[in-house]
Amino acid sequence: MTRSRKPFGPVETFAPTRRGFGLGAGAALMLGGCSVALPGSGEPPRIYVLTPKSTFGDDLPEVDWQLLIEPPQAAAGISSARIALRRSLIELEYFARAAWTDSAPLMIQTLLIESFENSEKIVSVGRQAIGLRSDFILKSDLREFQAEYMDDNGNPLPAGSPPNIRIRMNAKLVRMPHRTIAGSRTIEYLIQAPGPGMVDIIAGFDDALGKTLKRIVGWTLEEGQRIYSATNT
């Protein structure tokens, strides 16, 4: 039986049971021959940041309506600051000593707001939590946000291969004040990281998320303007 290779750096699995955690920790100590690290000891985690989208096509409509953006909804496994990876179809793990600057949903909410602002095509955009009046609310679901060391069939990638970065989001544009869903779009990107190192993996996340943000901004402005023009003429 072949063994799948380990990704860059140590990994941690998601949500072990109390009994499973104890067995796993004991096995790790037996195999590694090392003692339990005290709280506050060891290397500090490296904190990584992703960037908003800053370039957009000139064909995007310039709109004068207002938009509020909610944090994406996400499953517990990716709704954290830990950087997720997969080596099989049924298990989620994390890179050790590496984290995002914030939980993934809050980080993406901030990057969405900045991307809309960078487009210079919308009069007002902000966080839903601040309670401002808006014409639309952008709701979203973050469904995939991880590095994958396997193909679509769950087979491990060749040893030394950079992982694929998968991001999938569903965006819903809600018309206010009646809170009716005016449109919905699912966007997914699967992009190979430029290399196997952690910095390369983060660059892959940045590339995939940047493409996703660009698509969401473009679709929101076009769909929102179509609906807004139809109901205000």
Residue 117 to residues 3, 8, 55, 111, 114: CA-CA distances in angstroms?
47, 35, 11, 10, 5
What average pLDDT does the structure give for the chain? 86
pLDDT at residue 45 tops 90: no
- Supply angle C-alpha 114, 83, 48, rounded to 5: 50
Instruction: Give the chain's length.
Output: 233
Tell me the mean pLDDT in the region 206-228.
97
Strand stretches in 43-116, DSSP E: 46-48, 63-69, 73-74, 82-88, 91-100
Q: Alpha-carbon Rg of the chain, whole angstroms?
A: 21
- Supply angle C-alpha 7, 30, 80, rounded to 5: 40
- At a CB cut-off of 8 Å and minimum separation 6, what does 13 contact? 24, 91, 92, 93, 94
How far apart, in whole angstroms, are the C-alpha atoms of residue 49 and residue 110? 11
Q: Which residue has the tokens 């929102």?
A: 224
Q: Which of 3, 13, 4 is nearest to 150 (CA)?
A: 4
Lowest-pLDDT range of 1-5, 72-76, 176-180, 221-225: 1-5
Which pLDDT band, with edges at 50, 70 and 90, does 24 fall under? very low
pLDDT at residue 204 tops 60: yes
Predicted pLDDT at 232: 80
